Structure 1
Amino acid sequence: MIKKISIVAALVVSSIAFSQNTAREKLGNYLDSLMVHHKVMGSFAFADKDQPTFLKVTGFSDVDNQQKANMNTQYRVGSISKTFTAVLVMKAVEDKKLSLNTKLSQFFPEIENADKISIEQLLQHRSGIHNLTDEKEYSAYFEKPQTTQELVRIIKSYKNDFEPGTKFEYSNSNYILLGFIVEKIYKKSYADLIQDKIARPLELTRTEVGGKIDPAKNQAFSYNYENEKYMKSTETDMSIPIGAGNIISTPTELLKFIIGLQNGKLITQKSLKEMKNYVDNYGFGVTKVPFGASWGFGHNGGIDQFRSVLYYFPDLHVAISFITNQSNYNNNDISIKMIQAALGQNFEIPEFKDVAVSTDILKKYEGNYVTKDFPLAIKIFLENGALKAQAMGQGAFSLEAVSENEFKFDMAGIKIKFNPEKNTLDFAQGKNQFTFKKE
């Protein structure tokens, strides 16, 4: 379950156009280049005029057994599941089983402020309920099955972050609770509801609630790539994310889902319009996505080492989707190039150059770095010959050398420059720039 939403950056669309066939071929070459350089492997698709017109699969679903992924390989989609959950909630509203003003106290009165928190606030991440995946203790139980009662107990144990309705703060806890709520009102499991109300109406055969990954069923594992090896990721037990992130699917079926949603095959246009009632760029399980002068909607996701994107642009009649099971790269760059290719626009393929830095030099960068301008210290350390960074209380990530003293982490858009003569590092991520000093 991804913690933060990152959307396609607005850009001035190039006026240079070339044939769509050329654009698709170039996109395929770009994705091949990412795979060859161990930046990304996964499955990619886009639709033009609501018809799937591009599919590309790279890499392995099971590295240990050299099993290559194919168009029917199922991947965990992470927080794209939230869009599915929001559709189930809107179906329940249409069925008059609840309203957007229904209070959480009707289902879970034991949660703080339950009598003030509405279904709408849960959908829009404006409830104030703390995100359980932000806590250190999450790492102690995320691989183990959890019951509804246990997850509610965990959510209840945290103090709320703010008063309901006063601000936006992304919280997986909101959608875990929404998953339980639709189960209660329909008296069916979340898995059955996904099948009954979404998969069957759209004839989706590879979209369902996931369980333990089974390569015999053409399901992909996820990986880190470090020290020239693919390292298999741990697996979140899928009883935990429920409505926040437990769907498995393929990019082509995700396209069918979002196009079907847009065209009224799942809920009414009135309900879809309510889903697109954005506050702080977030609606009901969808985020507002810019591309040039156009606006689309959709969601991205992350769970274990899976990363996913699903966006639809109604005025362009273009939808893109991809799911990766290994990535050291920025999904935004892939998203933009996929949209450009779908529109027949030219784009540049980046060059990837390997820069070797000696261990002796890397050792000089090790240490804890702090600044009064940022609340978290950053630990820099060597592990198995690779330089890594870790913000206090967060996961470590590998740094890729750009030069002897400059490094990057593409997936999060992070750039770090070391100044050993000053015992400092310059940290940049988007518009945020800080100088940290070694303790």
Structure 2
Amino acid sequence: MNVLRWGGLILLTVSSVAAQAQDLDPATKAKVENEIRRVMRETGVPSAQVGVARGGKVVYAAAFGEARIAYEGKPSIPATAEMHYAVGSISKQFTAACVLLLQEQGKLKLDDPVGKWFPNLTRANDVTLRMLLTHTSGYSDYAPQDYTIPEWTHTAKPVEVVRKWAGKPLDFEPGTKWQYSNTNFVLAGLIVEKVAGMPFRDFLRENVLTPLKLQEVLDLDYDRAKMEPTGYKRNALGPLRPAIPEAPGWYFADGELSMPVRTLMEWDLSLLNRTLLKPASYDEMFAEQKLKDGTGSHYALGQQTDTRNGRLVLHHSGEIGGFVAQNFWYPKEGVAIGVLTNQDASSAAGLITAAVSQILLPPASASAAAVSDPKATVRGILEAFQKGDIDRSLFTSNANFYFSPQAVGDYRTSLAPLGAIQSLTETRTLLRGGMQMRVYTVVYATKSVSISTYWMPDGKIEQFLLEGQ
């Protein structure tokens, strides 16, 4: 498909898709592509590659929209399924695989302290390699922004990035909290280099990419010029403009890979089929990391763990300047879905992934069906909170973690004095991160409050936050 702009409207016209598309039956294929078209219209993302793997093979790989829009006299270029799109932090899964291979070779252990290789970093003897790969180290993130900052436009040396950011005081005691940090994986990549005695990219290619026959994988620190799509940004609701790319050195081991979506699906098949590592290594790779107090982090080694539509899913997003990616795979069902887009800070990849997941893997049981009356559910939750009660079956594991006994107690003590609800109005609804966001205004006799809620496709509530007005 090509995305055409006319008078501010976005129109989708049909172009060729990959030959693999016929592997989805016609009805399913039509539903999938209708959802892709819908999301592209609603978000204005210039292009997307979409891939599906199931039954042990890639059954769908297609491209939509424009890899390059018409700009300053240059013609547009339609996206194709063979083009290389940045996968951003999905690269972290590949780094985790490198570490696990070295552990299999007896050259390191996940629970080795980073001080074994970098003794001068903060708390180096208390932070382990496993903590790096699960984001529980306490090291600050050198790249939390969703846009390119001036520092990233200058070439960097990964070791200097690590010395600066892992040389600061920790954000928390190692192992006690989860906080996403790209610094962790840069350090992990440097450790791979030291242990393997070769550049990280060479070890990755020789020990992961080549054995798995993963073709057309680019390293953005060296191959950025080979990428065909242009990465874009949008200022507020303005037009698409070329994004500012990061300079070499800022991708190292945490977001450096670019590939066609078919190759990403072949990587997912290697995870589903456990074809590269030993069984024990995959067990470690997919296991949720527990914090020191026993609570779950919802993160394994280089990938998030969650439940969607009543099913276990491992997933990760990725973003670098001008590109956003999403990768979901369901181990029990043997299904993987990947979406690669060329606009930074865009929700399109997540929305497409959620929509395709809903088509291919609808709720696992009738009990997981979407809630029919959200307002009544919200009212019931608020009335229960006033009594100090909570029906945890209504919430996801993330939301249940948030609603600790202390949080439930605070909700009770602050809401009980307000008395009966006078009115409850839904004031806003939109899609957010593959979820339905609903905002409510609740009026009590003496006070009004605002409720921000996120609803999963299966009807579970991921977020329920209250604030005064």
TM-score, with structure 1 as normaliser: 0.73
The answer to whether the Cα contact below 8 Å between 1:104 and 1:117 also exists between their aligned partners in 2 is yes
Match of 1:97 in 2: 107
**Any residues of structure 2 matched to 1:12-161 within 5 Å, and which?**
20-40=25-45, 41-63=47-69, 64=71, 65-134=75-144, 139-161=149-171
Match of 2:242 in 1: 232
| Deviation readout 1:55-101 (Å, 9 max, x if unpaired) | 23112222234111111111111110110100000011011111112
CA RMSD in angstroms, aligned pairs only: 3.3
2:342 to 319, 325, 332: 325
More helix by share: 2
SS state at 1:243 partner: coil
The answer to whether the Cα contact below 8 Å between 1:408 and 1:416 also exists between their aligned partners in 2 is no
Whether 2:174 is the aligned partner of 1:164: answer yes
Rate the CA distance shift 1:213–1:187 in 2: closer, same or farther, 3 A: closer
SS state at 1:237 partner: coil
Q: Which deviates more, 150-159 or 44-53?
A: 150-159
| Deviation readout 1:201-235 (Å, 9 max, x if unpaired) | 12222213114775665244233376562111111
2:355 to 337, 349, 371: 337
Rate the CA distance shift 1:135–1:337 in 2: closer, same or farther, 3 A: closer
Match of 2:323 in 1: 306
**Any residues of structure 2 matched to 1:173-188 within 5 Å, and which?**
173-188=183-198
Report the alpha carbon displacement of residue 269 of structure 1 after superposing the two structures with TM: 1.4
The answer to whether the Cα contact below 8 Å between 2:449 and 2:468 also exists between their aligned partners in 1 is yes
SS state at 1:202 partner: coil
The answer to whether the Cα contact below 8 Å between 2:350 and 2:434 also exists between their aligned partners in 1 is no
The answer to whether the Cα contact below 8 Å between 1:47 and 1:255 also exists between their aligned partners in 2 is yes
SS state at 1:170 partner: coil
| Deviation readout 1:119-152 (Å, 9 max, x if unpaired) | 1111111111111224899823112111133212
2:307 to 286, 290, 300: 290
Q: Letter of the 1:119 partner, please give it.
A: L
The answer to whether the Cα contact below 8 Å between 2:339 and 2:349 also exists between their aligned partners in 1 is no
Rate the CA distance shift 1:27–1:205 in 2: closer, same or farther, 3 A: same
Rate the CA distance shift 1:210–1:425 in 2: closer, same or farther, 3 A: farther
Report the alpha carbon displacement of residue 282 of structure 1 after superposing the two structures with TM: 0.9
Rate the CA distance shift 1:177–1:427 in 2: closer, same or farther, 3 A: farther
Rate the CA distance shift 1:298–1:37 in 2: closer, same or farther, 3 A: closer
Q: Which deviates more, 232-241 or 116-125?
A: 232-241
The answer to whether the Cα contact below 8 Å between 1:176 and 1:244 also exists between their aligned partners in 2 is yes
The whole-number CA distance in structure 2 between the counterparts of 1:120 and 1:216 is 34
The answer to whether the Cα contact below 8 Å between 2:63 and 2:81 also exists between their aligned partners in 1 is yes
Rate the CA distance shift 1:192–1:127 in 2: closer, same or farther, 3 A: same
Rate the CA distance shift 1:406–1:120 in 2: closer, same or farther, 3 A: closer
Match of 1:380 in 2: none
Rate the CA distance shift 1:49–1:36 in 2: closer, same or farther, 3 A: same
| Deviation readout 1:246-276 (Å, 9 max, x if unpaired) | 1111221111012113323221111000111
Rate the CA distance shift 1:87–1:427 in 2: closer, same or farther, 3 A: same
Q: Letter of the 1:143 partner, please give it.
A: T
Aligned residues: 359
Q: Where does structure 1 lack aligned partners over 5 or more consecutive residues? A: 1-18, 349-404, 419-423
Q: Which deviates more, 215-224 or 152-161?
A: 215-224
The answer to whether the Cα contact below 8 Å between 2:65 and 2:78 also exists between their aligned partners in 1 is yes
The whole-number CA distance in structure 2 between the counterparts of 1:425 and 1:223 is 35
When Rg is computed on C-alpha atoms for both structures, the one with the higher figure is 2
Report the alpha carbon displacement of residue 336 of structure 1 after superposing the two structures with TM: 2.7
The whole-number CA distance in structure 1 between the counterparts of 2:347 and 2:109 is 41
Kindly indicate whether structure 1 or structure 2 has the higher relative contact order, using CA contacts under 8 Å at least 6 residues apart.
1
Rate the CA distance shift 1:243–1:211 in 2: closer, same or farther, 3 A: closer
| Deviation readout 1:295-326 (Å, 9 max, x if unpaired) | 12232212223221112212211111111113
The whole-number CA distance in structure 1 between the counterparts of 2:60 and 2:130 is 36
Q: Letter of the 1:338 partner, please give it.
A: V
